[in-house]
Amino acid sequence: MFYLSRSKNKNESADMATLDLNLKHLRYFWAVAREGNLTRAAARLHVSQSAVSVQIKNLEDDLGTALFERRGKQLLLTEAGRIALDHADAIFGLTDELVASLHQGSIDQRVLRIGAVTTLSRNFQLGFVQPLLGRADVEIVIRSGLMRDLLRNLEAHQLDVVLATSPPTRDAATAWTPRLVGTQPVSLVGPPHVATEHRTLERLLREEPLVLPTVASSIRTGFDSLVESLGIRPSIAAEVDDMAMLRLIARQHRGLAVVPPVVVKDELTNGVLVEVEELPDLHESFFAITSKRRFPNPLLMELLGAQSTDLVADEG
């Protein structure tokens, strides 16, 4: 049981002096409120929908107020439900943090759990964790996924940090802290034969077929603005939303790829590809996204304390 106690008013009965709030009931409510759907919440909790409904009804009876309002198939939070959710976020955030902190302190090997958006450069990820690699007292866990899923895991203290190329949308209900940990110029990269003839940037963009990030990428937004300002309509050979795949295509493509050099670091080093031209005023940013914690992972603090130039500049 989790106990919420308050002082007795002399006009109140002894029965109302202490409210015994069952954490299991609150956990079920929290799951439904977070998922916004009874079916998904039940699947997440590995119980039946009826069991979830019963637990929430018990919680509403304990609190003496409705927490959800049904509108068709939708479950919407009432005003009391919104207040309960705010408190549940705080309660379960602290309990998850307690378990994670005590578990981390109970073993000799410390663990750093990193989430990375699926499209993020593998070379950047390697550069980010490089200071910790090879340490016998450190285990590094890296999970790839969609931003929304990674942020949910960050909130649940299943991740210490999320790496991305753009900060997440914030509002008053979220506590994300995006920190810029590096930037990388974006260049035209291609096979050596493309660079044998000196051509202006405008000619390169007009004459060579291009491999580009998709329109969802911040790089693509900047590139489209650049070619529009130059009055150029480029020939697009491929559009790719994954940097690892873009790297592979750039190695096989006979034209040019628009890519940060960090993505094709090895190919530039061994001469398979060359950096033909750096694109003016076009950069990719890298963010480390964290949530507010009383006991942040010291390994993460160690990484974030490094100079951002150490994380990225050496990769080109």
CA distances from 306 to 100, 128, 132, 133, 312 (A): 24, 9, 11, 14, 11
Show Cβ contacts of residue 69 under 8 Å, excluding neighbours closer than 6 positions.
75, 76, 77, 78
Domain 16-101: which CATH class?
mainly alpha
Q: Which residues of 193-228 are buried (b: 16+ CB within 10 A; e: fewer)?
A: ebbeeebebeebbbebebbbbeeebebbebbeebbe
Q: Tell me: the pLDDT tens digits for 222-280?
A: 999 999 999 999 999 999 988 889 999 999 888 899 999 988 999 999 999 999 999 99
Confidence band, pLDDT 50/70/90 cuts, at residue 313: very low
- CATH 3.40.1710.10 assigned to domain 183-284? The reply is no
Confidence band, pLDDT 50/70/90 cuts, at residue 18: very low
Q: Where are the beta strands (DSSP E) in the chain?
A: 2-5, 18-21, 68-71, 74-77, 110-117, 138-145, 161-164, 176-190, 210-213, 236-240, 256-259, 274-291
pLDDT of residue 44: 85
pLDDT of residue 249: 92
CATH topology identical between 16-101 and 183-284: no
| Per-domain boundaries in the chain | 16-101, 108-181+286-315, 183-284
Confidence band, pLDDT 50/70/90 cuts, at residue 10: very low
pLDDT of residue 12: 40
Q: What is the mean pLDDT of the chain?
A: 82
Residue 83 tokens, joined: 């207040």
Confidence band, pLDDT 50/70/90 cuts, at residue 93: confident
Q: Would you state the torsion angle of the CA atoms of residues 207, 208, 212, 215, taken in this order, to the nearest 10 degrees?
A: 20
pLDDT of residue 229: 94
pLDDT of residue 273: 94
Highest mean pLDDT among 70-79, 89-98, 170-179, 186-195: 186-195
Return the CATH fold of 108-181+286-315. D-Maltodextrin-Binding Protein; domain 2 (3.40.190)
pLDDT of residue 220: 92
Residue 3: pLDDT over 50: no
